[in-house]
C-alpha cells in the first residue's frame, strides 16, 4: 500500500502513503506499517510543515474519501492519530469531513500537517470511500531545506 519516496523536486520531496486505493484501509498496528521518516528530520528535509495531498486517479459518480493520518513513536511503541478532534475524528484530514469532488470525476485536496518530526513513522488510513470505481492516492509533500 505505502510506497514511500516517489520523487524529488527543487523545493520538496514527495512520499506516497496510499497508492490508488479502491477500499478502506486498516488502522496501523505493526511497527513497520506506513513509511519510515525517522531519518528525514535534521538531514535534508523539514517535516514539521508538510502538505497532505489527496487526489483521484480513477472513478466516477460523486466520488468521496475520508482519511486519517497516524504517527508512530518508537519510544512508546504506539501509533497516534495526528491532529485534533475527538474519537474517530482525531487526526482526520479535512476537519473530519469527506473529501469530495473538485470537478467532474476529479478529487484534488491539499492541506498542511504539522509536527511529524515527533514521530518515527507515518501512516495514512482511508476510513471511507464512495463513488464508482473510485481510486484515491494520499501523498505527503515534504519541503526541503534551503542549501
| Higher-confidence position of 109 and 8 | 109
pLDDT(57) > 80: no
Q: Tell me which residue of 10, 8, 26 sits closest to 18, measured CA to CA.
A: 26
* Residue 40: per-residue pLDDT: 66
| Digit-coded pLDDT (tens) for 87-103 | 878 889 998 899 999 88
Per-residue confidence at 84, pLDDT binned at 50, 70, 90?
A: confident
| Digit-coded pLDDT (tens) for 9-31 | 778 888 999 999 999 999 999 99
- For residue 9 the three cell numbers come to 523536486
* Residue 44: per-residue pLDDT: 52
Domains of the chain, by residue range, sit at 4-143
* Residue 118: per-residue pLDDT: 85
* Distance from C-alpha of 112 to C-alpha of 99, rounded to nearest angstrom: 15
Residues 6+ positions from 85 with CB-CB distance below 8 Å: 91, 92, 95, 96
Residue with cell 493520518: 69
Amino acid at each position: 500500500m505505502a510506497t514511500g519516496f516517489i520523487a524529488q523536486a527543487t523545493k520538496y520531496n514527495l512520499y506516497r502513503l496510499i497508492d490508488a486505493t479502491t477500499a478502506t484501509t486498516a488502522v496501523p498496528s505493526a511497527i513497520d506499517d506506513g513509511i519510515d521518516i525517522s531519518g528525514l528530520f535534521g538531514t535534508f528535509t523539514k517535516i514539521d510543515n508538510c502538505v497532505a495531498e489527496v487526489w483521484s486517479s480513477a472513478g466516477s459518480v460523486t466520488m468521496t474519501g475520508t482519511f486519517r493520518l497516524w504517527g508512530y513513536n518508537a519510544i512508546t511503541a504506539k501509533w497516534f492519530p495526528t491532529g485534533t478532534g475527538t474519537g474517530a475524528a482525531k487526526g482526520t484530514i479535512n476537519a473530519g469531513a469527506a473529501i469530495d469532488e473538485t470537478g467532474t470525476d476529479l478529487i484534488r485536496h491539499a492541506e498542511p500537517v504539522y509536527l511529524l518530526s515527533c514521530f518515527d513513522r507515518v501512516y495514512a488510513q482511508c476510513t471511507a470511500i464512495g463513488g464508482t470505481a473510485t481510486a484515491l492516492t494520499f501523498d505527503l509533500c515534504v519541503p526541503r531545506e534551503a542549501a
